[in-house]
């Protein structure tokens, strides 16, 4: 739609965009150009931040030609169907290294910086990671867009450019204190804003009936207010394949007309204040992972980005003469959880009210344009919105949802005559405890496919959460097991292991992770095992250095490194891990074991708690308190150390995971949909201690039972125990080891004598224990004792670790995306 109005006379203006040559000289030139003419400083007076920004923009300029070329090919080739990935979160991590890797510029950039007298590592440290997500779901979206670009899948990803990402976690007196994450404050070099391409998004107001020119009655929405969605494009480079895809993040801006009446009334300051109100929509990421709070602003965010994205796709990505009836041939919108589900009534509204389609036709189109990924089994994670809120904020959408539900309920009554209980269970509208819209039901009714994120999860979805729906539409349900990108989580984060692998089987594995299988035979090669251990030792030294300079934490040397990193949530059972630590400590200080006979172990935690999640915050406090006590007790004799570096994020994960020996995946069976950290650890040569939950199940199947420390109840056993009535106190009474651990916590031993400080934690374990930590305690301790025995035989441990790496190539997100393409999207690759 844009471009010069006159024919340019310079030949330069018409040719293809050419990136600077891949030489050190050209890179230096481009870098100095960015520094001088972009940042406006000479090298001699530039700050590290100037240099970082100039370097980022230089790398970006190399990507630009590929970006334009990818877009041009997609425009001019025979129109192909695209994926529109809709996600409220993208937990991207730092961008610089990934861009260098994609463009094969790492060595050139490093040398170019040396030529300028700059240590490139200092610039790396300068980048603030874009933390536009909470945890697994947001990181999965980031891995998926990496894989879509690497496969050349015709796709575009949409989301929100939060001004503040996930909060920065600090600890004050062992308790979590949140600080805002002003990730843009040092300049955001990776986004390209297009202010002229903004799209309006409206809210509120009322709906009325009017008679159209053809004499037909129609509904008209007159919104009360609106904002503009400003388009920020981010590059998503494929791995050394010339493709650069787009991640389009929206930022809210107040419209000029927004407060004209206030301006006119002369209250300038009030008008500016009201402007901030509109811009609040993209201000901050909600910090709850899988426990949404149902806040009005959150619904505004969801509608804001989805409405902008759908409009953008139809108006700007499709050609001018595009007929909306062709939408199903041109787009499949993938709904990442229920967060973007409001897109369904939005597309209906566009087809009905803006394109004048009849209901049946609009519905037939809409039903082909969405697919839904469910990421949870926790009832509290399934979003519901009060009807009253919907009516106020999105009155036309509420009407449309009612009508969708009316038709759906009529269909149900035909299929299941007299089964009103079932109808009530399945209805999109819930009546209790409050009249509300069940977004997961809306998504299921309107989607081509519904998928879970691991084999077990997809089965449980069908059997439990969406059982009625899978009985009605069995063919609609499918599984796509999650994956992680090997670029960021092996190649970049574990260069030593990557080199060992490439030296052994060649470089092809980075874009074809199944090739790791070729390593299986090397598990029996003593020389290879030795090298593999050297890699681990190197990565341990690296994390030691990182934690010293980052947090002043000095990890002891020569320990088994046991790592539990993930959001703090009761179902993930950090409390069970804590009981294990207290048990180890108790054995040491009670003299039950001779310290010199104990395998020295360091436990590292990383976890953010949702700021309003009291029990999660109590657990953080207790972990920190236990760490303080254990690390300072001479009786421990250097056999046990607990570290809890604050602000676990992607950047820290990249350093921590490659150093780990043991991966803690100990959620209560049937609660963790998949987990993706579990995959990263296995691929980096850690062994897993885990329950039969989420993707642990598939990991264990692939690596073999003998290379995995399984413990705990299975999902059916959990269901059975809960059905007969679970009483945690019985386990406390029966198991002296468990009783000692809990008593030691309850006594105030770790909290400077204060029993009050631990009473809610202990009380909950003994009288509630929703996630059955006490029931799995004995099995967990037994499995951990086996871990220690196994670690004693280093050679065999290495053998097991190598087999974990060799057999988990399945967990590449490239494979996940291929599954989405084959089973759900049916879009082309290689474009
Ligand atoms: O999504 C991950 C899973 C993980 C699951 C997580 C998740 C969120 O991070 C947020 C909301 C939600 O419903 C689920 O807890 O098990 O691996 C990616 O699928």
Q: Is 292 in the pocket of ligand 1 (CB under 6 A)?
A: no
pLDDT at res. 335: 98
Nearest C-alpha neighbor of 88 from the set 160, 144, 156: 160
pLDDT at res. 412: 98
**Measured between alpha carbons, how far is 599 from 232 in angstroms, rounded to an integer?**
52
Catalytic residue among 566, 573, 587, 815: 566
**Measured between alpha carbons, how far is 536 from 321 in angstroms, rounded to an integer?**
58
Query: What SS3 state is found at 176?
Result: strand
Q: How many contiguous H segments (helices) and E segments (strands) does the chain have? A: 33, 24
Most informative mutation of 133, 137, 675 for ligand 1 (most atoms within 8 A of CB): 137
Measured CA angle at 709 (ends 706, 714), to 5 deg: 110
> Does 29 participate in catalysis according to the annotation?
no
> Does 734 participate in catalysis according to the annotation?
no
Query: What SS3 state is found at 3?
Result: coil
Count CB neighbours of 448 within 10 A.
Answer: 16
Q: Is 335 in the pocket of ligand 1 (CB under 6 A)?
A: no
Ligand 1 atom with the shortest distance to the CA of 453: 19
pLDDT at res. 262: 62
Query: What SS3 state is found at 1?
Result: coil
Counted residue by residue, the chain has a size of 831
Kindly list the structural domains of the chain, giving each domain's residue range(s) and its CATH number in brackets, ordered by start.
Answer: 79-94+129-481+819-825 (3.40.50.2000), 557-805 (3.40.50.2000)
10-residue mean pLDDT profile of the chain (831 residues): values are 67 74 97 97 97 97 94 83 98 97 97 98 97 98 98 97 98 98 90 90 98 91 96 96 97 76 73 81 94 91 98 93 96 98 98 97 98 95 96 98 98 98 98 96 98 98 98 98 99 98 98 98 98 98 98 98 98 98 98 96 98 98 98 98 98 98 99 98 99 98 98 98 98 98 98 98 98 98 98 98 99 98 96 76
Catalytic residue among 366, 373, 676, 808: 676
CA nearest ligand 1 atom 1, residue: 137
What 505-513 contacts at long range (C-beta under 8 Å, 24+ apart), as own/partner pairs, is: 509/809, 510/239, 510/486, 511/150, 511/239, 511/240, 511/241, 511/814, 512/814, 513/486, 513/809, 513/810, 513/811, 513/812, 513/814, 513/815
pLDDT at res. 1: 47
Q: Is 675 in the pocket of ligand 1 (CB under 6 A)?
A: yes
Q: Is 137 in the pocket of ligand 1 (CB under 6 A)?
A: yes
Q: Are strands 90-91 and 131-132 parallel, antiparallel or unpaired?
A: antiparallel
CA 282 to each of CA 205, 230, 276, 298, 300: distance values in angstroms, whole numbers, following the listed order: 21, 10, 11, 10, 9
Distance from Cα 768 to the centre of ligand 1, integer Å: 24
**Measured between alpha carbons, how far is 647 from 334 in angstroms, rounded to an integer?**
30
Q: Is 135 in the pocket of ligand 1 (CB under 6 A)?
A: yes
> Does 676 participate in catalysis according to the annotation?
yes
> Does 566 participate in catalysis according to the annotation?
yes
Residue 273: CB partners within 8 Å, gap ≥ 6?
A: none
**Measured between alpha carbons, how far is 374 from 460 in angstroms, rounded to an integer?**
11
What is the ipTM, given to two decimal places? 0.99
Q: Is 289 in the pocket of ligand 1 (CB under 6 A)?
A: yes
Q: Is 662 in the pocket of ligand 1 (CB under 6 A)?
A: no
Most informative mutation of 375, 665, 690, 695 for ligand 1 (most atoms within 8 A of CB): 375
CA 253 to each of CA 299, 720, 740, 765: distance values in angstroms, whole numbers, following the listed order: 17, 53, 58, 47
């Amino acid at each position: 739609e844009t471009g010069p109005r006159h024919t340019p006379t310079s030949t330069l203006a018409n040719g293809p965009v050419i990136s600077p040559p891949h030489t050190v000289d050209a890179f230096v030139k481009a870098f100095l150009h960015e520094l001088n003419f972009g940042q406006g400083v000479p090298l001699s007076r530039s700050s590290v931040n100037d240099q970082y920004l100039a370097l980022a923009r230089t790398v970006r300029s190399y990507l630009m030609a590929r970006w334009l070329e990818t877009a041009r090919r997609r425009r001019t080739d025979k129109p192909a169907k695209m994926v529109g990935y809709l996600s409220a979160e993208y937990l991207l991590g730092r961008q610089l290294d990934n861009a260098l890797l994609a463009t094969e510029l790492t060595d050139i950039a490093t040398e170019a910086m040396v030529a300028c007298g700059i240590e490139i590592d200092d610039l790396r440290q300068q980048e603030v990671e874009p933390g536009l997500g909470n945890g697994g779901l947001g990181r999965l979206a980031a891995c998926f867009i990496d894989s879509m670009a690497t496969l050349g899948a015709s796709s575009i990803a949409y989301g929100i450019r939060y001004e503040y990402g996930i909060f920065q976690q600090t600890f004050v007196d062992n308790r979590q204190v949140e600080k805002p994450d002003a990730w843009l404050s040092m300049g955001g070099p990776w986004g390209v804003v297009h202010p002229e391409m903004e799209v309006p998004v409206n809210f509120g107001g009322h709906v009325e009936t009017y008679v159209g020119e053809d004499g037909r009655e129609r509904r008209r929405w007159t919104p009360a207010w609106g904002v503009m969605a400003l388009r920020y494009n981010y590059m998503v480079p494929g791995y050394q394949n010339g493709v650069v895809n787009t991640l389009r993040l929206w930022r809210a801006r107040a419209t000029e007309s927004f407060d004209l009446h206030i301006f006119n009334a002369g209250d300038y300051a009030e008008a500016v204040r009201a402007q901030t109100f509109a811009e609040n929509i993209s201000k901050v990421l909600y910090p709850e992972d899988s426990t949404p709070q149902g806040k009005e602003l959150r619904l505004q965010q969801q509608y804001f980005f989805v409405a902008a994205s759908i409009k953008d796709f139809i108006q700007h990505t499709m050609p001018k003469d595009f007929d909306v009836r062709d939408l199903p041939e041109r787009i499949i919108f993938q709904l990442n959880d229920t967060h973007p589900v409001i897109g369904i009534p939005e597309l209906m509204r566009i087809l009905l009210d803006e394109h004048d389609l009849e209901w049946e036709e609009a519905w037939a189109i809409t039903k082909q344009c969405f697919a839904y990924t469910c990421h949870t089994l926790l009832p509290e994670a399934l979003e519901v919105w009060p009807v009253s809120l919907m009516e106020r904020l999105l009155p036309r959408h509420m009407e449309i949802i009612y009508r969708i539900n009316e038709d759906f309920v009529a269909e149900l009554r035909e299929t299941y005559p007299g089964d009103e209980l079932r109808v009530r269970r399945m209805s999109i509208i819930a009546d209790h405890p409050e009249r509300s819209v069940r977004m997961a039901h809306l998504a299921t009714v309107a989607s081509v496919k519904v998928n879970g994120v691991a084999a077990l999860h997809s089965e449980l979805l069908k059997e439990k959460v969406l059982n009625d729906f899978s009985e009605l539409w069995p063919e609609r349900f499918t599984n796509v097991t999650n994956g992680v990108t090997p670029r960021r989580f092996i190649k970049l984060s574990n260069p030593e292991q990557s080199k060992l692998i490439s030296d052994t089987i060649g470089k092809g594995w980075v874009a074809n992770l199944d090739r790791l299988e070729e390593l299986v035979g090397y598990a029996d090669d003593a020389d290879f095992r030795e090298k593999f251990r050297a890699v681990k030792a190197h990565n341990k030294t690296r994390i030691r250095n990182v934690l010293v300079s980052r947090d002043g934490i000095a990890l002891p040397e020569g320990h088994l490194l046991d790592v539990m990193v993930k959001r703090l949530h009761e179902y993930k059972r950090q409390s069970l891990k804590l009981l294990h630590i207290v048990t180890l400590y108790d054995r040491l200080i009670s003299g039950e074991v001779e310290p010199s006979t104990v395998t020295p172990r360091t436990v590292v935690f990383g976890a953010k708690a949702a700021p309003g999640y009291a029990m999660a915050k109590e657990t953080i406090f207790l972990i920190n308190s236990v760490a303080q006590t254990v690390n300072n007790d001479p009786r421990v004799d250097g056999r046990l150390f607990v570290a809890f570096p604050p602000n676990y994020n992607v950047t820290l994960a990249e350093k921590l995971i490659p150093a780990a020996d043991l991966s803690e995946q100990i959620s209560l069976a049937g609660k963790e949909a998949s987990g993706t950290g579990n995959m990263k650890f296995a691929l980096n040569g850690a062994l897993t201690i885990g329950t039969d939950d989420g993707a642990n199940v598939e990991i264990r199947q692939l690596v073999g039972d003998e290379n995995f420390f399984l413990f705990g109840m299975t999902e059916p056993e959990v269901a059975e125990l809960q059905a007969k009535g679970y009483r945690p106190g019985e386990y406390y009474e029966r198991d002296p080891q468990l009783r000692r651990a809990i008593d030691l916590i309850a006594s105030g031993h770790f909290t400077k004598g204060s029993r009050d400080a631990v009473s809610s934690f202990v009380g909950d374990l003994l009288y509630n224990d929703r996630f059955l930590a006490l029931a799995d305690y004995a099995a967990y301790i037994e499995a951990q004792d086996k871990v220690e025995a196994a670690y004693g035989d280093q050679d065999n441990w290495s053998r097991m670790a190598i087999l974990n790496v060799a057999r988990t190539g399945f967990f590449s997100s490239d494979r996940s995306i291929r599954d989405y393409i084959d089973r759900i999207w049916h879009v082309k690759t290689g474009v």
